[in-house]
Structure 1
Amino acid sequence: MDLKEIQNLIKFVANSGVAEVKLEMDDVKITIRTTLEGNVTETTYVQQMPAQNTLQQAVAPQQIAPVVAAPEVVVVETNNYVTIKSPIIGTFYRKPSPDKPMFTEVGSVISKGDVLCVIEAMKLFNEIESEISGKIIKILVDDMSPVEFDQPLFLVDPS
């Protein structure tokens, strides 16, 4: 499949109203995602498949990784609140597993070193610890949502 055919496929999918299309051929794998709102955003992934036997790849079991670098702490001048930001890209979880209680809630008092959440990145669960003490004012991300590097996660009142 050449570049012209891929471009035509992207245009066709964008105009068709379909949210996602996956296409796998011999050694090429293509995923095209669009949004159905007024503005169309296209994400296209073209991946060359290895020539080796792909069945030999094994998936490692999920495991808890050591604590990642400390989240960046930024002071918001207007409200005297501190914003705790994500130190990595991944999926944000408010509890260690589905059957366990949440790490923290709005109104909870936290101390330096308390685990606030877990961010899953590449099948590793990274505990995010607080670098400050205070009270959780607002949780800015929904549970099981993707987060970006430096994305605000929590608002904390350090007083």
Structure 2
Amino acid sequence: MTPKELKQILQALVEHGVNELTLETPDYKLTVRRGGEVPVVAAPQGVAAPVPAPVPVPAQAPAEASPAPAPLEAPKPQEEGHPGYVEVRAPIVGTFYRAPAPDAPPYVKEGDRVEKGQVLCIIEAMKLMNEIESEVSGTVKKILVQNGEPVEYGQPLFLIQPV
């Protein structure tokens, strides 16, 4: 399972109000729970390790056990907090990085023009580097997170003025 597929499954769980998902194979058991409980992932040897919600352990899932991801809609400008801007939100919990390496230039700066699908940042989750892409073409008006900060699922990262 790729990080992108995992993000789609997590997004479908949230969109459809699913609070728990369990996948079992001969090699592992994966349980994802939303809410106040801390899920436990049992390793093959029977050792249990706590996992912060809602980040599951990436693993191969049987095709019939995976919920179909919801069709993605075109992002709409946020009318409440930032009229006319599209908020790019964190699709996963992790650590926000503006550049691919500490000594590299940032992917984008405020005022930069971006295209739909262009990489804006990286979120590191469970030692995996997940590239976060722009949902729209436009101008980066504000970067809402500092480099190296932890981010939560759904937290706004960027404000983009669409064109």
Q: TM-score range by the shorter chain?
A: 0.5 to 0.7
Q: Which has the larger radius of gyration?
A: 1
Instruction: Write the letter of the residue equivalent to 2:117.
Output: G
Pairing 1:1-159 to 2, within 5 Å after superposition: 73-77=75-79, 79-159=83-163
Quickly say closer, same or farther: Cα 1:136–1:82, change in 2 above 3 A. Answer: same
CA contact (8 A) 1:110 1:133 kept: yes
Quickly say closer, same or farther: Cα 1:74–1:151, change in 2 above 3 A. Answer: farther
Distance in 1 of aligned mates of 2:143 and 2:112: 11
Distance in 1 of aligned mates of 2:152 and 2:83: 24
Between structures 1 and 2, the one with greater strand share: 1
What is the Cα-based RMSD across aligned positions, in Å?
2.7
CA contact (8 A) 1:137 1:155 kept: yes
The count of corresponding residues between Structure 1 and Structure 2 is 95
CA contact (8 A) 1:81 1:158 kept: yes
Quickly say closer, same or farther: Cα 1:113–1:153, change in 2 above 3 A. Answer: same
Listed one character per residue, the Cα deviations across residues 68-94 of structure 1 (whole Å, up to 9, x for unaligned) are: x98x94522262111110000000000
Moved over 6 A (4+): none
Q: Which runs of 5+ in 2 are unaligned?
A: 1-37, 39-44, 46-68
Q: Which runs of 5+ in 1 are unaligned?
A: 1-44, 46-51, 53-68
Identify the residue that residue 26 of structure 2 maps to in structure 1.
none
**Percentage identity across paired residues of the two chains:** 52
Q: Normalised by the size of structure 1, how large is the TM-score?
A: 0.54
Distance in 2 of aligned mates of 1:147 and 1:75: 21
Identify the residue that residue 30 of structure 1 maps to in structure 2.
none
Instruction: Write the letter of the residue equivalent to 1:152.
Output: P
Q: Normalised by the size of structure 2, how large is the TM-score?
A: 0.52
Distance in 2 of aligned mates of 1:81 and 1:100: 28
Listed one character per residue, the Cα deviations across residues 23-56 of structure 1 (whole Å, up to 9, x for unaligned) are: xxxxxxxxxxxxxxxxxxxxxx9xxxxxx9xxxx
| Alpha-carbon offset, residue 137 of structure 1 | 0.3
